[in-house]
């Protein structure tokens, strides 16, 4: 059993749902050495989240953003946590709905995602800044 952990700092992005699968793969050059295992991805922030969904049609990501904005609106009269801006409390709620972590299987040195699946950074703030992911690989490495 082999373990490896690294931090990946993502560039700042505007609010929305962003495909980051390729950035994660690039940050893990040792991924190809794993015959089978798991990649655990954890975002170290409370106003952004992670999910897996459609990787081909960008309109899906826009639809996600519009749906989440209707589910969790800004400026709701019942919010008490408002000092950090009108997008902050909704960002915390959206982050809790989707969650801070994902686990993806590894097979033959690759992420075992489905054909149309991609990993999303879900940025819930208008200007969230750089986001950091803790990437932890665990599994059986290939025989040398």
Q: Count Cβ atoms within 10 A of the Cβ of residue 71 and give its class: 0-12 exposed, 13-18 middle, 19 or more buried.
A: exposed
Q: What is the mean pLDDT of residues 16-22?
A: 98
Cα separation, 23 vs 20, in Å, equals 5
Where do the domains of the chain lie, and which CATH numbers do they carry? 2-141 (2.60.120.460)
Q: What distance lies between CA 103 and its chain's CA centroid?
A: 11
Return mean pLDDT, the chain: 97
Q: What is the mean pLDDT of residues 55-82?
A: 97
pLDDT tier, 143 (very low <50, low <70, confident <90, very high otherwise): confident
- Per residue in 88-118, pLDDT (tens digit) is 999 999 999 999 999 999 999 999 999 999 9
Is residue 78's pLDDT more than 70?
yes
Is residue 144's pLDDT more than 90?
no
């Amino acid at each position: 059993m082999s373990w490896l952990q690294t931090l990946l700092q993502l560039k700042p992005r505007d609010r929305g749902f962003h495909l980051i699968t390729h950035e994660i793969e690039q940050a893990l050059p040792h991924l190809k050495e794993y015959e089978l295992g798991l990649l655990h991805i954890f975002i170290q922030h409370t106003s952004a989240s992670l999910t897996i969904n459609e990787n081909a049609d960008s309109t899906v990501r826009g639809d996600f953003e519009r749906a989440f904005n209707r589910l969790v609106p800004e400026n709701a009269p019942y919010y008490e946590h408002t000092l950090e801006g009108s997008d902050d409390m909704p960002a915390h709620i959206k982050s809790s709905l989707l969650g801070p972590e994902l686990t993806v299987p590894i097979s033959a040195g690759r992420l075992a995602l489905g054909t149309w699946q991609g990993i999303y950074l879900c940025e819930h703030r208008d200007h969230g800044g750089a986001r950091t992911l803790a990437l932890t690989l665990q599994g059986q490495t290939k025989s040398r």
